[in-house]
Chains A and B, each alone.
Chain A
Amino acid sequence: MSHGSTHAMISVRDVTKSHGPVRVLDGVSLDVEAGTVTCIIGRSGSGKSTLLRCINHLDVPDAGHVLVDGRFLGYDLREDKLHEVSEAVLARRRADLGLVFQSFNLFSHLTVMENLIVAPRVVRGLGREEAMSAARVLLERVGMGDKADYRPGDISGGEQQRVAIARALAMKPKALLFDEPTSALDPLLVGEVLKVMRDLAAGGITMIVVTHEMEFARDVADQLVFLEDGRVVEKGPPADLLDNPKSHGLQRMLSRAS
């Protein structure tokens, strides 16, 4: 059930989040249409990671809410009131959004293959064979078909991040969230990860990407968001923001980047 005028896959509505006395997010609203890519840029500490964590409720927002495909992620709407859902229900809904971390976070005690099948088996109840054949397809897709039996500690950072992307895809999410997926990588390895992400975007997966790769943002994003001090300061087509920054903050950030 779609909500009125938007066909947004992800709707962020007035999300506010504080860590202790610090208000990290201050009324962030954002719509991401199905099949589009939104890139988020902003200085360190501006709240980008917190925003992604709030979107999939790894951090529960203090106020505001998130809709995924027209459904409240953390609540059920009954009699005009939002009733908080149980931890189990929230966990299952959270699987609709894949999250790719800056530090990969592959499960270090499991092989590449096991990393891909553990959640489909535990959460979705898939059988081992079924999960493995789906995983093989995904590993091929990110170019890791020959490393299924490796352990995360034995492959490069770029390879780990590609596996992490495949792991997120294994849950068949409705959208993917990326938190600076290439920031922890050697410059030489950035390209292989960005290529996988470009392919995914071309394949029509809805994505939100926190990134410092301005070239990627310009090429791939349908919408660019500039976050400053937990607020959306500018938002629009990437070329507009990058070539014609209106706010002082974005001007400063772009002049430093170039």
Chain B
Amino acid sequence: MAETPMSEDTAAPTAYRIIHRPRYGTLIAACIAGFLALSLIVSIGGNANFQWEAVGHYLFHPAILRGLAITLALTAVVLLIATLLGTAVALMRLSSSRILATIALVYVWIFRGVPALIQLIFWFNLGLVIREISVVLPGFGTLFTLNTNDVLSPYTAAVIALSLCEAAYMAEIVRAGILSVPVGQEDAARSLGMSRRQAFWRIVAPQALSFVIPPTGNAAISLLKLTSLVTYVAVDDLFYAAQSIYARTFETIPLLVVVAFWYLAVVTVMSIGQGFLEAHFGQFDRRSRRSWSLPLRQAGAGLRNLWRAQ
């Protein structure tokens, strides 16, 4: 009733100022959340139990840095193997051969289904059950024999277990990426005389890559954290290094803070890196519109991923 109808011919369509409705609810919620966060920080920061001096002391401690290096190396090696193996499994799953597809399906079923920790301890203990690995070629006899205890060092057991497990996830990521490319792309490539193989590697794979990178970034971040399990099979990663210190000194909380700090730092760097990769390989039609603001947007995308990943 109170509103005056204003038709367009009486009011010239000049620039009206828009008055946004105040959002009191959001404001109050933000104040409460801010207050709680602040008091948490103050109470933790001022809490003597956290022993902030000890945190400072161990943050760059050589044993911790060595553990960090092993965690990073393990993540990198496992990610590399898992990506290659996972791609192979994905291709098998999508192949026209029923047998290959079934093998791939069963692989994913097992290695994604059994908890990683159990797989890890399984490989670690394999040396106790099976004493020797012999490679036998029918007709030629035994080629060579390895003692499992020599081969399955804690490191190898960890790399094998985590790679096999992670490959199952990568296989699903790669498979989804390939299936996201419209079939018309392969049809067009083959109609131009490309073989299936050429069509796949020249046309489908590059497009699948842009679908594969974002979830791979998330998988890599999960993997980084997953590698902390190797502590249970005596691989001296970051967590193990912290544990062996606080087992002696009982500075448990400060060392866990140190470990958490390093995981967060690495995850932050990985998220930013993922943003760069996505900007480079993702969304083809936008790539042509590169501008000065791209690095900023990439970093922004990385931080958004960080947000999502947690």
A167-181 CB contacts (< 8 Å) to partner B: 167-168, 171
Contact of B265 with A by CB under 8 A = no
Q: Name 10 A/B residue pairs within 8 A (Cβ), A-sorted.
A: A91-B193, A97-B191, A103-B184, A105-B187, A107-B207, A111-B288, A149-B288, A151-B285, A151-B288, A154-B285
Contact of B195 with A by CB under 8 A = yes
Question: What residues on B are CB-neighbors of A149 within 8 Å?
Answer: 288
In contact, B195 and A95 (Cβ under 8 angstroms): no
Give CA–CA (A151, B187) in the complex, Å: 19
Given A99-B191, A107-B207, 13 additional A-B pairs, CB 8 A:
A88-B195, A92-B193, A94-B190, A97-B191, A107-B185, A108-B207, A109-B206, A110-B284, A118-B192, A122-B194, A122-B198, A149-B288, A151-B288
Give CA–CA (A171, B284) in the complex, Å: 25
Give CA–CA (A153, B182) in the complex, Å: 14
B142-156 CB contacts (< 8 Å) to partner A: none
Question: What residues on A are CB-neighbors of B285 within 8 Å?
Answer: 108, 151-154
Contact-residue size bin, chain B (C-beta under 8 Å from the other chain): 20 to 34
Q: Give the Cβ gap from B94 to chain A, nearest Cβ, in Å.
A: 17
In contact, B191 and A56 (Cβ under 8 angstroms): yes
By secondary structure, the B interface counts as helix
Contact-residue size bin, chain A (C-beta under 8 Å from the other chain): 35 or more
Q: Give the Cβ gap from B58 to chain A, nearest Cβ, in Å.
A: 48
Contact of A123 with B by CB under 8 A = yes
Question: What residues on A are CB-neighbors of B210 within 8 Å?
Answer: 109
Contact of B223 with A by CB under 8 A = no
In contact, B192 and A119 (Cβ under 8 angstroms): yes
Contact of B57 with A by CB under 8 A = no
A42-72 CB contacts (< 8 Å) to partner B: 56, 58
B203-231 CB contacts (< 8 Å) to partner A: 203, 206-207, 210
Most chain-B Cβ atoms within 10 A of its Cβ — which of A99, A109, A150, A154?
A: A109
Contact code string A167-198 (vs B, CB < 8 Å = 1, else 0)? 11001000000000000000000000000000
Which residue of B has the minimal Cβ distance to A86? B195
Binding site for B on A (CB under 8 A): 56, 58, 87-88, 91-92, 94-95, 97-99, 101, 103, 105-111, 118-119, 122-124, 149-154, 164, 167-168, 171
Contact of B88 with A by CB under 8 A = no
Most chain-B Cβ atoms within 10 A of its Cβ — which of A99, A119, A153, A171?
A: A119
In contact, B207 and A109 (Cβ under 8 angstroms): yes
Question: What residues on A are CB-neighbors of B187 within 8 Å?
Answer: 58, 99, 101, 105
Q: Which residue of the partner chain, among A94, A107, A110, A153, contacts B193 with CB atoms under 8 Å?
A: A94
In contact, A87 and B288 (Cβ under 8 angstroms): no
Question: What residues on A are CB-neighbors of B81 within 8 Å?
Answer: none
Question: What residues on B are CB-neighbors of A87 within 8 Å?
Answer: 195-196
Contact of B189 with A by CB under 8 A = yes
Question: What residues on A are CB-neighbors of B203 within 8 Å?
Answer: 107, 109, 118
